[in-house]
Structure 1
Amino acid sequence: MTWTIPNILTVLRLLAAPGVAIMFLYFTRPWADWFALILFVTASVTDWLDGYLARAWKQESKFGAMLDPIADKAMVVIALLVITGFSGMNPWILLPATVILFREVFVSGLREFLGNTAGLLKVTKLAKWKTTAQMVALSILFAQGMFEHFFAMQTIGMDPVIIDNILSGNEEDALGLWWKYQGMVGTWWGGVVCLWVAAVLTLMTGWEYFRKSLPYLRDEVQP
């Protein structure tokens, strides 16, 4: 393969995927959340950038075409595992995450079974929107983890009545709890809604790929 800039960006995105999880092994929160968010967003931007540069510079290659969807899937799958873990297996996160993971495994297996005819399962425009929705949702949920950690740390041992009074504006908010709480709630629901949208798009693209592959899955009738 030729080490073009688009291919290098794709390889770096693939290497960044496990890096998101490693942040939580070597750094404490909220630093782990910050580093994971920066790494994930940067890698997500390269998903658009490497394709744009490859087309603009006429450097499209088989290696890049093969590795690009693998890097995308690795990023999404590992980020989903991390977020599902620190969300405490919350069903609002767990269910769409399960749908997304199931679809990725199903389509990957379908491509492997089809072998040389797997070219009919080309990436569609809807699939690109699906990937974008996944990455936006995961980025927002990483940001939610930061707000949640800051709010939780600054309210440890604080009387719940005092917290309620601060959030309602009846007491002075010296620690900035109000905006941290609003950020926590806003990013939570924003991330959850985007993740469910991504799950729906994921199901739609999975069904589309399955429908296209049906003629190749039928057994030949013996005369």
Structure 2
Amino acid sequence: MTVTLPNVLTILRLVAAPAIAVMFLYFNRPWADWFALVLFVSAAITDWIDGYLARSWKQETKLGAMLDPIADKAMVVIALMVIVGYSSMSPWLVLPATFILFREVFVSGLREYLGDVAGTLKVTKLAKWKTTAQMVAIACLFAQGVFEHYFGMSVFGMDNAMVLDILQGREEDVLGLWWKMEGMIWAGRLGLWLLWLAAALTVLTGIDYFAKALPHLKERD
């Protein structure tokens, strides 16, 4: 096993995946949301860094090639599980998450069946865009949780009339309710839009991968 800096970063990203869920077990919100957001964004950044370093330093290894997609899938699957689990189970969130999770399980099973042949099926640019859309969408949805809980903490003890007066400018917004609410709304919208885009790209790349794998599946019949 070759231990290189890109491989170390990939392993750290793999370890960070379950740590996202652990944050919600040991910390109250919004701290759990904050820690999960920082962990996820840091892992997404190292995903780009370790790939760049491996190519630039010519340190691409079999270990890295094996662990990199596993780390990516683990981050996305666990993060989506946490987000859906702490959401209101809105179908607008559950449906794209289901498409993404189904595709990841399907392609992983297909890769396992194909064995060494799977390595010849190269990652497309569309698949890279899919991963980027997933990562940004999930980061936005974690950010929505941060804004939502700060807003909830700020309005605690206020009645609806007082909150409405502040948001509509009839009362001074000392606690910053307006920007917290706007942050919550727009982070949620952007996250949901990007999650649906990621789901669409996920389905397309899944179909593309299956089409490329089909000749190899026929050879095995």
TM-score band, normalised by shorter chain: over 0.9
How do 1:106-125 residues align onto structure 2 when only pairs under 5 Å count?
A: 106-125=106-125
For 1:217, the equivalent position in structure 2 comes to: 217
Query: Distance between the aligned counterparts of 1:120 and 1:89, measured in 2?
Result: 39
1:1-223 equivalence runs, <5 A: 1-218=1-218
1:218 Cα shift?
3.1
Is the partner of 2:119 in helix, strand or coil? helix
Segment drifting more, 130-139 vs 151-160:
151-160
Alpha-carbon offset, residue 219 of structure 1: 7.3
Change (3 A) 1:123 1:220: closer
Conserved? CA contact 1:111–1:121, under 8 Å:
no
- Residue 208 of structure 2 aligns with an amino acid whose one-letter code is E
In 2: Cα distance, 1:24 partner to 1:206 partner: 31
> Aligned equivalents of 1:121 and 1:64: distance in 2?
17
Change (3 A) 1:18 1:104: same
The alignment's C-alpha RMSD in Å is: 1.3
Aligned 8 A contact 1:155 1:163 in 2: yes
Q: Distance in 2 between matches of 1:40 and 1:219?
A: 40
CA change 1:220–1:154 in 2 (3 A) is: closer
> Percent of pairs identical after alignment?
68
User: How far apart in 2 are the matches of 1:101 and 1:134?
Assistant: 11
Evaluate the alpha carbon distance shift between residue 201 and residue 117 of structure 1 in structure 2; reply closer, same or farther with a 3 A threshold: same
User: Which is further off, 151-160 or 189-198?
Assistant: 151-160
The one-character-per-residue Cα deviations of 1:11-66 (angstroms, maximum 9, x if unpaired) are 00000000111111111111111111111100100000001001111111011001
Q: Report the residue type matching 2:10 in the other structure.
A: T
Q: 1:71 deviation in Å?
A: 0.2
Q: Distance in 2 between matches of 1:193 and 1:158?
A: 32
CA distance in 1, matches of 2:38, 2:192: 20
1:148-172 per-position Cα deviation (integer Å, ceiling 9, x unaligned): 0111122233211111111111111
**CA distance in structure 2 between the aligned counterparts of 1:60 and 1:220, rounded to whole angstroms:** 30
Q: Which ranges in structure 2 are unaligned for 5 or more consecutive residues? A: none
Structure 1 unaligned spans of 5+: none
Distance (whole Å) between structure 2 residues aligned to residue 156 and residue 68 of structure 1: 44
Aligned partner letter, 1:166: I
Say if 1:24 and 1:33, in contact at 8 Å, map to a contact too: yes
Aligned length: 221
TM-score w.r.t. length of structure 1:
0.95
Q: Equivalent residue of 1:218, what SS?
A: helix
- The amino acid across from 1:24 in the alignment is F
Normalising to structure 2: TM-score of the pair? 0.96
| Secondary structure at 1:217 match in 2 | helix
